[in-house]
Structure 1
């Protein structure tokens, strides 16, 4: 059986995916810097759900 301690780095990656989602949704209200505007922030949603499913499984 896999111990949860081995999944902590993957759980930490969910923070960055969630941050991308927050930036994407807040871009409609507040302007984001052009350096962040070039990133594919919409991929954060897919990454978050795939990673969450892997962690839960």
Structure 2
């Protein structure tokens, strides 16, 4: 079964916590986003960067 996902463009001020809250309603799921993006570190987000948001 294939997984669906969204693509998010990072903006200034975005954090994995905020993005997890926006997409999942739970900021603690930021690790799900990190894992889907090669275990990116929260402090390594750059404006203009694209990340995958798994469903």
Higher strand proportion, which one?
Answer: 2
Higher helix proportion, which one?
Answer: 1
- Structure 1 length as normaliser, TM-score? 0.24
Structure with higher Rg: it is 1
- Structure 2 length as normaliser, TM-score? 0.24
